[in-house]
Each structure stands twice: as structure tokens, then as C-alpha cells.
Amino acid sequence: MKCLFHPEAEAELEQAAIFYEEYEEGLGFDFLLEVHSAVDRIISYPNAWTLMDDEIRRCLIKRFPYGILYTESSGEIIVLAIMHMHRDPDYWKKRL
């Protein structure tokens, strides 16, 4: 199964990785590894995570206060947001 990132989700991923790397060397890389691991789990089991809104699901990232919001469409996973868990929970809805 293919996984695509919304452009704003890609930007969120990059910004978070930079933030963590500036905070502590190597932590940004660790963040990216955890996101990659979560995406692999999503691809393997796309219906396993919590439904947030209609067909939108959230998979929490280990070690970091982030979740991946995604949907499945035509056999593809579409990542809509790499969402910090203390952010407004509905900010991503304009991306649909």
C-alpha cells in the first residue's frame, strides 16, 4: 500500500524534526524514526486506530506527543497531519 503526505503534513513533520534536533542532537532523527515506524504500522493495519472524524483515523507516535491523522482512499494512505497533541484538534480539517 502506498502512503502519501499532504504538503502541510510534510511541513509539520519537518518542523517537528528540526525542533527536536535543535533541542538535543539526535532527537530529531529519533522523532523521524518513530513517525516512520507508525506509518509502517498504519500501512500494515490501516483500520486499527481510533476514528476521529468520519473516515479519519489517528495513530499515536511513541515517545513524542504527536499523532498521525490519516485516511484511506483508493488503496492509499493519505496522511493529513502530523499533529501535536496539545494543538487545536480541528485545525487540520481544512485539508480535506
- What is the CATH classification number for the domain harbouring 35? 3.30.2310.20
Model pLDDT, residue 52 = 87
44 is a domain residue: yes
Residue 94 forms part of a structural domain? no
The packing angle between helices 7-23 and 27-44, to 10°, is: 140
Cα separation, 65 vs 21, whole angstroms = 15
Q: What is the pLDDT of residues 13-60, one digit of tens each?
A: 999 999 999 999 999 999 999 999 999 999 999 999 989 888 999 999
Q: How confident is the model at residue 80 (pLDDT cuts 50, 70, 90)?
A: very high
Domain hosting residue 74, numbered range: 2-86
Question: Looking at the domain assignment, is residue 70 inside a domain?
Answer: yes
Q: Coil, strand, or helix at residue 61?
A: coil
**Cα–Cα distance measured from residue 89 to residue 63, given in angstroms and rounded to the nearest whole number:** 20
Domain count, the chain: 1
pLDDT confidence of residue 53: 82
User: Exposed e or buried b for every residue in 36-54, given b needs 16+ CB within 10 A?
Assistant: eebbeebeeebeebeebee
Asked whether residue 96 is domain-assigned, the answer is no
